[in-house]
Copies of this chain bind each other. A is one copy, B any other.
Amino acid sequence: MNVEAFMADRRVGIWLVGALGGVGSTVALGLAALREQCTSPRGMMTALPLFDGVDLDSPDQFVLGGHDIRRGDLLSSVSDLARDASIFDPTVIRAVQSHLSEWSKNIRPGTVLNSGDAIAALADRPDLPSTRSPREAIASMRADISDFRDRHKLDQVVVVNVASTEPPFSLTADHGSIGQLNERLDDPAFLPVSSLYAYAAIDSGWPYVNFTPSTGASVPGLVDLAIQRGSPIAGQDGKTGETLLKSVLAPMFAARNLRILSWVGHNILGNRDGQVLHDPRNKAGKMLAKDRIVSEILDYSPQTHTSIEYIESLNDWKTAWDHVHFEGFLGVKMTLQFTWQGCDSALAAPLVIDLARLALLAGRRKESGILTHLACFFKSPMGVTEHDFSRQMTMLAEYVRTLQTR
Contacts and interface: CB of A to CB of B under 8 A. Distances in A.
Contact of A311 (B303, B311, B328, B389): B303
Contact of A342 (B29, B255, B334): B334
- Most chain B beta carbons < 10 A, residue from A256, A330, A393: A330
A395 interface: no
A113 interface: no
Interface extent on A, as a size class?
Answer: 35 or more
Interface stretch (A152-160, A287-295, A343-351): A343-351
B257 A311 contact: no
Contact of A42 (B257, B319, B338): B257
Interface in A1-60: 26, 29-30, 33, 39, 41-45, 47-48
A329 B248 contact: no
A150 interface: no
Given A339-B336, A390-B390, A330 B249 contact: no
B45 A255 contact: yes
A314 B325 CA distance: 8
Interface stretch (A163-171, A200-208, A259-267): A259-267
Nearest to A325: B313
Contacts of A121: none
A92 interface: yes
Contact of A248 (B252, B313, B333, B340): B252
Given A44-B257, A256-B45, A328 B314 contact: no
A279 to B, nearest CB: 16
A98 to B, nearest CB: 18
B337 A338 contact: yes
Output the residue of A86, A257, A329 with the most chain B CB within 10 A.
A329
A324 to B, nearest CB: 10
A329 B346 contact: yes
Nearest to A334: B342
26 contacts: A30-B329, A41-B329, A42-B257, A42-B259, A42-B328, A42-B331, A43-B257, A44-B329, A45-B255, A45-B256, A87-B330, A88-B330, A88-B332, A92-B330, A248-B390, A252-B389, A255-B390, A261-B313, A262-B268, A262-B312, A268-B323, A305-B311, A307-B309, A328-B347, A337-B341, A388-B390
